[in-house]
Amino acid sequence: MHHRESGKGASPVNWRLIDTGPLPGPENMAVDEALLTCFNPDSSVPLLRLYGWQPPALSLGRFQDAAAVLDLYRCRADQLQVVRRITGGGAIYHAEELTYAIVCSPHHLPHAATVKDSFRILTAFLLRFYRGLGLNAAYAVDLTPDSSRLGERTPFCFAGKESFDIMLDGRKIGGNAQRRLKNVIFQHGSIPLRNMVNEGVTYLKESHADLNDAVTALADNGVAVREDELKESLSKAFSTAMTTELAPSVLTEEERETADNLICSRYGVDAWNLFGEAL
């Protein structure tokens, strides 16, 4: 079953809204990759996926060395699942967060001439979402006179700042990463509901200074954490920012089968998650 756009010259196509709810880490990453690989840049309808993590998990950037970054003994002792993303960046501890994924083609973003343009366009809904909650949200690049400080590599994702990371009164909230594959754009990112960063860093090999002054979450800013309401607000912010409508959707049979296969062959095995071996 393929979702197809109406013909050329038609009104802007609706985007699919897929809310998979909270899932284990391997399934989350398998669904993200399945949505990317099943996407036909010429005929597929662009999509926004919303999801959560249950139980909590830790994700690594595509090229991170698990043994160098993580205290794997502690991860195993606490039965914390470790999964490797298809996107780059640092380690992320996923708990008490709302996560999104976007899959589209460059032609769905007509004003994005560069990768940076696409990042700004595909994170604009987050700015609108946070500002709609009464929060003082801005891009890191707009707050950092010395832009050379942006993009520094850190083992822990939330400790570093990229140009289009979002700041609330000077503290970073969440993180976003993008990957391109055969004329398809994939982006995912996190919206922390409660600040779990200090729990997350306990699974890293290197100790980090208290990050509470550097990162924040919705609950830190007095936002009531009601997930259904926040999802609705986020969906409205996305529709407005992207001038589109979101049509509730579910995984197609092809997407579901692809995800199931990826759990077996990739996200359920250490060869990929810990060693990054493409299987």
Q: Which CATH number fits domain 15-273: 3.40.50.720, 3.30.930.10, 3.30.450.40, 3.30.450.20?
A: 3.30.930.10
In 3D space, the residue among 277, 272, 254, 266 whose CA is nearest the CA of residue 37 turns out to be 254
Q: Residue 68 in contact with residue 205, Cβ under 8 Å?
A: yes
In 3D space, the residue among 93, 105, 110, 107 whose CA is nearest the CA of residue 40 turns out to be 105
| pLDDT value at residue 147 | 53
Q: Residue 69 in contact with residue 205, Cβ under 8 Å?
A: yes
Q: What are phi and psi of 192, to 5 degrees?
A: -65, 125
Burial 79-104 (b: 16+ CB within 10 A, else e): ebbbbbbbbebbbbbbbbbbbbbbbb
Catalytically active residues are 157
pLDDT means over runs of 10, the chain (279 residues): 41 85 99 98 98 98 95 97 95 97 95 88 97 96 66 52 85 94 95 94 81 89 95 98 97 99 97 88
| pLDDT value at residue 7 | 39
Look at residue 259 and give its three-state secondary structure.
helix
| pLDDT value at residue 110 | 82
CA distances from 131 to 63, 214, 237 (A): 34, 19, 10
Which position has the token pair 């470790």?
82
Residues in the chain: 279
